[in-house]
A and B are shown apart, each in its own frame.
Chain A
Amino acid sequence: MKILGISGFYHDSAAALLVDGRMVAGAHEERFSRLRHDPGFPRRAAEYCLDEAGIRADDLDYVVFYDKPMVKFERILSTYIATFPRSLPSFTRSIPVWLKEKLWVPNVVQRELGYQGEVLFAEHHQSHAAAAFLPSPFEEAAILTLDGVGEWATATMGIGKGNRFDLVHEIRFPHSLGLLYSAFTYYLGFKVNSAEYKVMGAAPYGKPVYKDEILDKLVDLREDGSFRLDMQYFAYDYGLTMTNDRFADLFGRPRREPESEMEPFHWDMAASVQAVTEEVVLRMARDLHNRTGLPNLCMAGGVALNCVANGRVIRETPFENLWVQPAAGDAGSALGCALFVHNAVLGNPRAFRMDHAYWGPSYGDEEIRAFLERAKAPYKTLPRDEMISETARLLDAEQKVVGWFQGRLEWGPRSLGSRSILADARNEENWSRVNLKIKFRESFRPFAPACLAEKAGEWFEIDRESPYMLLVCQVKEGRDIPAVTHVDGSARLQTVTRDTHAEFYDLLHAFDERTGCPVVINTSFNVRGEPIVTTPEDAYLCFMRTDMDVLVLGNQILYKEDQPELHEDVDWRELYELD
C-alpha cells in the first residue's frame, strides 16, 4: 500500500511517502523551491517522494491532507464574526486565498500531481499526534501536541497504544501557547512562524523579570498546565499583527524594530516568555503523567521544537522517556497524516520506527562530479577514508570552516550531518566567525554541537541520545568547547551514531582521534533566510557566496582558494528574505 501525506497552505509545506507502512521518502517543499518556509502546495516535494520510490501518482492508494480545511475555515469565519468589525483587514486578505485554493484541496492535488484517486483528510492535531506516537519506539505512550493552531485545537493530550491513539483533551483557539510565543517573537522584532528559535536563543542572555507580569496579566495558568490568554492584549485573532497597543503599553515599550539593536529589555523579555513556556509545558507534562501513569511521552507540534523546554521535561517530570518527532512542526504532519490513515484508520499494524531523519534526496559521486565539471570548479576526489581524515585535519590543524554535503537530506528543520557547516568547537572565535562571515546572522545566536553518541556523557550532562538536536543540556564542567557553549553553560546537543550516519560518525571519530575532542560545531548549510541546501549546486553557490573555506561534496573536496570567482547577475542577498 502506498500513501502520500501532504501538509501545505500555511507554512513549512512538505510531503512524505509510506510504502506498506514504512517511510520511504520525505522532504520540505522549501528545499526545492528555495523559498524559506514555503507555504504553497508541496508539488516538488511530492514528486521527489514518488521518484525516490520509483512510482507515479497513479500508483498511490491514497493521498492524505494534514488537516480538515472546512473546519479550519469555520474557525476563521467564527473568529471574524466574534471580532467584527476589527477583522475587516484580515478578512479581505485571507478570504480570496481560501476561495481560490484552500477549500479545493482535492482539485489542487489532482491538478498538481495528476492524481485521480481518493484524497483523505486527518485533523491537524491528529496528524501531529500520529507523527509523534506512531513512528516512536514505544508500544504505549502519553501524547502531547502543542502548536499555534490547527482547526480549533491549539494543544491536545492523549494516549497511544499499538496502532491507535486517542486524543482526550484539548485547548482551543485563540488560547494557544504557540501563538503566545509567536506574539513575543513579533514583539521582539523577529519574523513570526520563522524566527521563534531566535527568541529561545536570546533567552539565556536575559533574566525572566517579566515572567510574573506575563502570568498575572496575559496568561491565566492553571495547576494542570491548561491556560487561557487575556485576548485584550493580542491582535492575532482579528488583525494582521500579533500584539496590539495595549500589549506594548503593558511593558512600556513599542515593538522592537526588526534588525535594530537588542537591548537588555529585549533579552529579559525573551527570557521571560521562555520561562513561561517552560512552566506551561512542565505543568502539562506532569499532569499528563498523573493522568496516564505511563513512563513514555511523545511530543509534536511547533512548540515541541523548543529544546530547552524538552530538556526540562526529561529532567524535571516523572516521564522516563521522551520522543519528539524531528519534524515537529507542520512539515512532520505530512508523515503524521499518512501514518494516521495507514495505522489508525485502515487498522494496519505499525511497521515503521523512525530511527533517523535522513529521508530526502541524495547525490552520488558521479552526479556531483558531473556538476563540478559543468561548473568548471576545481576539485579533487579522495578515497572515502582519506576524505574523512583530510576533513578532520582541515577542521583541526588549519581551523577551516567546512561545508559538509553527504548522503540524504534531513527531514525536519535541523541539519544533522548531511547538509551541515562544520567547524572546531574548541575555538571560541569560530562562534563569531561562522555567525557573521558565513551565516550572516545575529552574533548572539548559539551553535549546536554534534558529538559521538558514546562519548556524549563525558562531555555533556545527559544520559540519553539526542539524535535530532531536540534536547538542551549543560556542558560538563571542565570541558572547553566555547564555540558551542551558550552563555548559561548549555548546549543544543546532537548525538551521532554510526548506524544512522556513517560518514558523519567517522568524521567525528577521526576528529576525536586527532584532538581528543569528539565534538564539532554543526550548523545548517545555508545563509540567513535561505533554506538548507539540497543539491550540489545549492551547496557550491552557498560555499562561494560566503567565507567558507572548504566544501566536501561526497568524496570530492574543494578549496576556496582554488575556485574561480563567482559571477552572478543578481545580488544573492536579495534572494532571501531575512527572518
Chain B
Amino acid sequence: MSAREPLWRRLLNGWLLIVARFGEVQTLVILGIFYALLIGPASLGARVGRADMLQKKPLEAGSAWGEADTAGADLERSKLQS
C-alpha cells in the first residue's frame, strides 16, 4: 500500500483538476469566438461570391480528374511547408 498523500498535495491536485476543467471551457469559448469572428465572415463572403470551395456543385459531362497541383521536385520548394 502506498502512503497516504499529504493534505497539501491532495488540495493541489484538486485545484489543478478544477483549473484544468476551467481551462477546457475557456479554450472552447475562445475558439468559439474565433470561429464566429474569423470563419463566419469568410464563409459569408464565400457564399455571397458563390464560391464552390469544395467542388460540391454537380459535375457536368466529362471527367472529374483535374490537373495535378504539385510542387515539383525542387530543393527550394521542398524547404517550404506550403
Contacts and interface: CB of A to CB of B under 8 A. Distances in A.
Interface in B7-37: 27-28, 31-32, 34-35
A164 B78 contact: no
Given A69-B81, A81-B43, A92-B31, A175 B74 contact: no
Contacts of A84: 35, 39-40, 42-43
A220 interface: yes
Given A92-B28, A171-B66, A344-B73, A231 B81 contact: no
A527 B56 CA distance: 42
Chain B interface mostly helix, strand, loop or mixed? loop
B65 to A, nearest CB: 4
B27 A96 contact: yes
Given A82-B46, A91-B39, A92-B35, A105 B74 contact: no
Contacts of B62: 222
A526 interface: no
A78 interface: yes
B66 A123 contact: no
B68 interface: yes
A172 B32 contact: no
B80 interface: yes
Given A92-B31, A167-B68, A70 B81 contact: yes
Contacts of B66: 169-172
What interface size band does chain A fall in?
35 or more
B17 to A, nearest CB: 19
Contacts, number: 131
B54 A174 contact: yes
Nearest to A225: B65
Nearest to A84: B43
B43 A123 contact: no
B63 A226 contact: yes
B48 interface: no
B24 to A, nearest CB: 10
Chain A interface mostly helix, strand, loop or mixed? mixed
Given A153-B68, A158-B68, A171-B66, A78 B53 contact: yes
A85 B39 CA distance: 9
B12 to A, nearest CB: 25
Interface stretch (A114-122, A532-540, A549-557): A114-122
Nearest to A173: B54
A411 interface: no
Given A81-B43, A84-B43, A226 B81 contact: no
Contacts of B40: 84-85
A105 B54 CA distance: 27
A88 B32 contact: yes
B63 A123 contact: no
A321 interface: no
26 contacts: A68-B81, A68-B82, A71-B82, A80-B35, A81-B43, A82-B53, A82-B54, A84-B42, A85-B35, A92-B32, A92-B35, A95-B31, A103-B81, A121-B80, A152-B69, A153-B69, A156-B68, A158-B68, A170-B68, A170-B70, A171-B64, A220-B58, A220-B64, A228-B64, A237-B54, A341-B78
Interface of A: 64, 68-71, 74, 77-85, 87-88, 91-92, 95-96, 103, 105, 118, 120-123, 125-126, 152-153, 156-158, 164, 167-175, 220, 222, 224, 226-228, 231, 237, 340-341, 344-346
Which 3 A/B pairs are nearest by Cβ-Cβ distance? A84-B43, A226-B64, A344-B73
